[in-house]
Structures are given as C-alpha cells and as structure tokens.
Amino acid sequence: MYAFQDFNDYSYESEKRKSRKKKLIIIGVSLLATTLIVTAGVVGALFYTTHEPKKDDNRNLHSVSKSVKMMCSATDYSGVCESSLSNAVNSSSPTPEDLVKAAIAVIANEAKKAFSRSELFKSKNPMIIGAIEDCKQLYLDSKEELETSLKHIVADGLENLPKKSHDIRTWLSAVMSYQQTCIDGFPEGELKTKMNKAMDKARQLTSNALAIIKEATNFFSTLKLSNFNRRRLLEEEKEEVFVDDDGYPSWVAEGDRRMLRSYSWKKPTPNVTVAKDGSGDFLNITDALNAMPKKYEGRYVIYVKEGVYEETVNVTKKMVNVTMYGDGGKKTIITGSKNFVDGTRTFKTATFVASGAGFMAVSLCFRNTAGAAKHQAVALRVQSDQSIFLYCRMEGYQDTLYAQTHRQFYRGCVISGTIDFIFGDAAAVIQNSVIVVRRPLSNQQNIVTANGRIDPHETTGFVLHNCRIIPDHTLTSFNISINSYLGRPWKQYSKTIIMESRIGSFIHPDGYTPWNGDFALNTLFYAEYNNTGEGSNVTKRVPWLGFKVISRSAAKGFTVANFLQGRDWIKRSEVPVRFGLFH
C-alpha cells in the first residue's frame, strides 16, 4: 500500500531495485524460516522433555541467531540490529511478531538513555538550558509514539501489520524527527557534538525498525497474505466548483484567486466562540482551549470571530480532533513575534502550535511579525497527525511554516516567506495553494522549502501540487537582484516534489541551491513533474544525482491518495481534495 512512496520507474531509484527485491526475498525467507523454526522448536522441546530432560540443546540459540540475522538483513545497520534483537528476545523460539516488537522496544530503552544524556549538561547559557527542556518534552513525545506503535502490533497481530504499516512507520518517522530536533536545539559546539553522539544508536535502531516493518509489509503484500492490497485505483475526478471565500490582496492574479476559492465549506455549530469584542464565550483562544473537556467524543469546534489575537496558542497532544475556524484569512488573525535573534529557540518561536491529532483549521491567519532581520521566526508549527488546513494564511519571513512531523494536508492556503519558509520533517501535501516569496534582507537569498528527512526509510517529504509560486510585490518592485530557489537540503535525505504547479520566472534556473558544499546532493530526492510557467524550464536545473524529472506514473506515488493515504482519513464530503493527479 505504501510502496508508492518509493515508486521506482525513474532512474533515481533504479540502483535500488535489485537490492529491494533481494531484501523482499530475504525477509520472506526470514518469516517462513522463523515459522519453521517455531514448529521445530516446539517439536524438539516436546521430544527432549520426554526423552532426554537432562541435556541442553544449543540448537535453539542457533535458531534465534539465524532468524535475527535474516530479519536484520533488511536494515542499514545490521550489526546493531542483530546485537539488539538477540539481547531483547527472551523466547528461545522467537516468532516474527516477537522480533518486530523487539525491534521497536529496544528503541525506547536506547532513546531514554540518549535523551537523558542532555540532563547531565551543566550550563548557564539560556539557549542550552532551553534545549535541555526541549529534549525532555521530545523524549515524552518519542515514548508515546513508541508505546502506540507497540500497542497496535500487540493488539492487531503480525498478520494485520500491513493494514497498520503506514501508521507505525509514520510514528517511527516522528521519533526520528524528535531525536534530531533535540540535537538541533543546542548551539554549535561541544555539547551539541556530545548530544549527537549520544543519540546515534537510538537513531540507528529507529531506522532499523522502519526498514523491518517496511520490508515485512511488502512481503505480505506481495504474497497477498492479508487484505492489505485493497488500494483503490486512482480516479480521474472532476474538481469541485469554487466560490470566493476570502479577500486577497491586489497582487494575487485572477487565476490564482480562482484557484483559492472555496467550495462553500459548511461551518459547523461551534462548541464555543472566541470574540475580542466580548460577544463570545471567551476573549482569547488559549482560554477556550484550556476549557475544553478532558474527554470529548467527536469533534470539538471552536469558532474564532474576526479580530487580531496577539497570543501564543498551543493545541496540545491531549487536545485531539479540534476544529478551529475563523471569518477569513484576512479577518481572523493570530499573531506573535517570537524569534531566534531575541533569544528564543526556533522550536519555540511559533505563534501557533498544533500537536493534537486530527487538528483542522479553516479560514484563519497564522502570522509572525518579527521580520527578516530577526531570522528564524515560525508562524505555525504542526506536529498533529492527519491534520488539515483549509483557506488559511501563514505569514512570516524565515521559517514561516514548520511542518514538523506526521501527515498533513493543506488546501487553498497562502504561504509567504523568504528563507526555508516551508521546513520540517512531515509528510505534507500542499495543494491548490499560493506560495508567495517575499523580499529578504539585501544580503540574503530566498529558498521556498527545506525538508528535514534524515533517513531513507522515513515516510516523510513535501509535495507541492497544483500550486502557484509567485513573487510578492516587495520582491519585484525594487531594482535589486535577489536569487530565489525552490529548495535546499536541510538534512541528508531531504525530499521535495513539485508537480502540476505554475512556477514564476523569478525562480533561478538552477531551481535548487546547496545547503553546505556537496552535503546531501547525492542522497536527497528532488523531483518535478508537468509544471508550467517561465520558471518551470528544467533544462538548466542543478546536475545533482538526487534531482530528477519524473514520469506520470511516478508522480502518482506523490498524490494525496498514495503519499498520505488520504482516502483513509480525508472525507471529500467535508474537505475539497484531489486524490489523484489533475492532468
């Protein structure tokens, strides 16, 4: 079901085809062999208990070693995998389920040691003190994701793993992101180096678990041993008719306005209303969230009336299935100005944080007014799994939208900024939206995306689908030369796909720019498909191994249906969405 994420009819993946097939065969042999081992172990145990109870048989140890070795052959860190699983499996005849559970369980122990390492650091530097606090919270987030993954494997059994594979891999990808975020919070120097080293084994174990689950799922799917392969065929759907839902500035062209028009989203009856003028239940959004019942069935709806709300809002992980809607992206504005230059870590600069699963925002503006001179200043940070943003505005300069983790869908939004203004390690599809590139400082350049995928087995990446990438009037109204790019690789396996979008002429012909030297240029995955506009000419794009122009069949792998498994959680009756390609 999720193999489309590595759809490999394009040359970037061609070198991995043979390796992947080998791994599928190996993991298949592993599962079948382990089943035989279990049977043989039971028979052997009965035989020796009856006939030779005083003798020890070392064959069980050999069986454990053999099955562990086979399972670990699918990973990139096989040595670490073998030693960790051998130590973690208590049974002398481990089942495949035992090994998969062990692969996740060992992460928790190692992560606890790694994250707690930060508590040993002593410093009076407020940035370091803050980074330590962040690591504590990130550890709790990691622990929760791992516990949830194990719970589903235990409850559903290995035979149902294919049905839950993408969920589990999404949660494990988030764990990898939390590990890296803890490290990134420390300033450059000795402590950051120590934290990076401390986290190394935890990252390797997480990568191993991702690989094992992915390959086991592919094996089950190939043999059709479950109902996993129920993927519906992509449809050539008719898109909804749009009706204007919001006012846009004069520099947004009529074509872009039409693209941003809504289909008359039906406003639900709110549980509570927030209004600055006192006509609602609360004067600010934070109080409305704090008053939310601890247990609530269904969606909890908060209506935020027109107004400018100067507050830092946090929809915590305990606040699930929250819908928050306003009177329009230019009318209901949530604003703040926290920034890196003034001493706030990037992770904490966000004006609005959405962490609770199933969060949905409609017709709101998330703004950070710190400006270009203050560098990193996040308007919106999204950690929420299966989150949806409709007709919203994200306004800032550097690091405007922090798509941190999990699965995210954006539709009909306006996202503006300068440097890396769409960044993070989520699986995010931004569809039918306008990406506005603003004017940076005179010594800066513009970069739209900076994806933070750190491992090839993660399910994450950014997809800009049927969007418009345009310059803000402040960028074009002055006779200055500023280079603007579509992306650069923040982390080693950075992944960004731009397809069926219109790219303005202001984008540099290279399309992309390095992060630092040749870092990640061979391991990143940047792809374009069927784009239009003067900036879409790919003949002068960067010659990196990781950049490709992909085919239509490959592009299907990055649609909402396949990349986000959107049919499982996005309801077309409630949300305008294109599950497949437009053309």
For residue 472, indicate whether it is catalytic: no
- For the chain, how many residues are written? 583
Rounded Cα gap, residues 337 and 508, in angstroms: 30
Instruction: Return the CA Rg of the chain.
Output: 25
28-44 residues labelled b (16+ CB within 10 A) or e (exposed): bebbebbeebbeebeeb
For tokens 């052959």, name the residue: 73
Burial status of residue 251 (CB atoms within 10 A of its CB: 0-12, 13-18, 19 or more): middle
Question: How many angstroms separate the CA atoms of 482 and 408, rounded?
Answer: 31
Q: Is 161 exposed, middle or buried (0-12, 13-18, 19+ CB in 10 A)?
A: buried
Would you say 301 and 340 are in contact if contact means Cβ atoms under 8 Å apart? no
Rounded distance between C-alpha atoms, residue 381 and residue 322, angstroms: 16
| Interatomic CA distance for residues 409 and 477, integer angstroms | 33
149 within 8 A of 105, measured Cβ to Cβ: no
* Neighbouring residues of 226: CB distance < 8 A, sequence distance ≥ 6: 159, 160, 162, 163, 220
Q: CA of 486: how far to CAs of 61, 110, 377, in Å?
A: 54, 37, 20
Contact 218, 24 (CB under 8 A): yes
Among residues 6, 246, 420, 472, the one annotated as catalytic is 420
Dist. CA 269–CA 306, nearest whole Å: 17
Contact by Cβ (8 Å): 321, 358: yes
The answer to whether residues 559 and 465 touch, using CB atoms and an 8 Å cutoff, is yes
Q: Cβ of 230: how many Cβ atoms within 10 Å?
A: 9
Single out the residue of 455, 525, 494 nearest to residue 199, CA to CA: 455
Nearest-5° Cα angle at 461, 459 to 466: 125
Contacts of 136 by beta carbon, 8 Å cutoff, 6+ apart: 115, 118, 119
98's enclosing H/E stretch is: helix 96-117
DSSP bridge partners of 334: 309, 366
Give me the active site residues, please. 420
